[in-house]
Amino acid sequence: MKLFKFFSQEIAIDLGTANTLVIQDGEVLIDEPSIIALNRRTRETVAVGKRAMLMHEKTHGNIETVRPLKDGVIADFDAAEKMIKGFINMISARRSFFSHLKMVICIPSGITEVEKRAVFDSADHVDSKETYLIYEPMAAALGIGLDVEEPVGNMIIDIGGGTTEIAVIALSGIVCDQSIRIAGDEFTLDIMNYLKKQHNLLIGERTAEQIKIKVGAALTELENPPSDLAVNGRDLMTGIPKQIYVSFKEVAESLDKSISKVEDAIMKALEMTPPELASDIYQTGLYLTGGGALLRGLDKRISSKTKLPVHVAEDPLRAVVRGTGIALKNTDRFTFLIDRRNI
């Protein structure tokens, strides 16, 4: 058995729209943007992850940058495969000696059967011999230390890059869920459109992402507000580069509509919850994970809407991949993992 273990490699992947994280032996080895740079003519990989992100929106005619995932699912099959391969190669140059690769991959709860098959096929193409899928809210619950096998209801709100997953979990299963395609990417787009309308300033995706991280907020009143951020872009009137200062209040204003849609989905999920589980949720509150959980004041805004306590997970960006890593160690015990036979 020990010999078999020596010849096998086990990895857990959180294949996200914005970031891909890979965990092996309980340690996060890869935490990179989900992006790949390809040669347009030969379709060969030029760079993946952070190196490809540095090239994003700055490429010339021979190179294109591709984000293979959209709304939490694989949109460009070929690019996704190459990107996964690139990340696995980063982990170990010894990969060629291993004969058995076992993977657990995270997927949104609102995914279709066809989209599930695309994930399995991608795993097959990187020589995975044993592949399991796990729903994101379930992985997030495991990652923040909840006992998902107990007959106790817990509500998880996972705001990622492509999707927001809201699920009530009890007895190793998802009782009711809502999956909406409004999340971090949509927030980034809102900021770009707001600056275009209000300031006649055209900015790129990377700049909008930086604004979201540095001065992003869900409320116009904060206890510790961040200072205004200098933003460079192109003036739409003159066509000349210019700089403006953006405050957190403006960002909160730009994100208001999208956050309201997330709140509506939370309310809808709460309405669908069976009464006994609803009473558990009243005691335990809501758990917020994913990159969106880092948005300043979001927990307070959701709390005032639902009148329930909201807990932001410790290190919310890595909650899902940590849970996927726990699932990887317990593939024989956890009944909620999906393998090929289940679809």
Placement of tokens 């309310």 in the chain = 267
* In the predicted structure, residue 265 carries a pLDDT above the cut 50: yes
Beta bridge partners of 45: 38
Band of pLDDT at residue 111, cut at 50, 70 and 90? confident
Q: Which of 288, 281, 213, 205 is nearest to 251 (CA)?
A: 213
Contact criterion met (CB below 8 Å) for 157 and 316 = no
- Name the CATH code of domain 184-254 (choices 3.90.640.10, 2.40.50.140, 3.30.950.10, 3.50.50.60): 3.90.640.10
Q: What is the total residue count of the chain?
A: 343
* In the predicted structure, residue 118 carries a pLDDT above the cut 70: yes
Domain pair 2-139+320-342 / 152-182+260-315, same fold: yes
Q: For domain 2-139+320-342, give the CATH superfamily.
A: ATPase, nucleotide binding domain (3.30.420.40)
Helical (H) or strand (E) element with 234: strand 229-235
Fold classified for 152-182+260-315 = Nucleotidyltransferase; domain 5 (3.30.420)
pLDDT for 1 equals: 47
* In the predicted structure, residue 107 carries a pLDDT above the cut 50: yes
* In the predicted structure, residue 95 carries a pLDDT above the cut 60: no
pLDDT for 145 equals: 94
Band of pLDDT at residue 58, cut at 50, 70 and 90? confident
Q: Which of 176, 167, 173 is nearest to 150 (CA)?
A: 173
CA distance 52 to 46: 8
CA distance 254 to 233: 18
**pLDDT: which is higher, 118 or 98:** 118
Cα angle for residues 221, 266, 106 (degrees, 5° grid): 110
User: In angstroms, how far is CA 200 from the centroid of its own chain?
Assistant: 31
Average pLDDT over the chain, rounded to an integer: 91
* In the predicted structure, residue 15 carries a pLDDT above the cut 60: yes
Cα angle for residues 86, 90, 94 (degrees, 5° grid): 110
pLDDT in tens, 213-254: 999 999 999 999 999 999 999 999 999 999 999 999 999 999
pTM of the model as a whole: 0.90
25: left (phi over 0), alpha (psi -120 to 50) or beta: left
pLDDT for 64 equals: 94
Placement of tokens 């796990």 in the chain = 134
Q: Which amino acid is at 142?
A: L
> Among 125-129, 144-148, 186-190, whose mean pLDDT is lowest?
125-129
pLDDT for 57 equals: 86
Residue ranges covered by each domain of the chain: 2-139+320-342, 152-182+260-315, 184-254
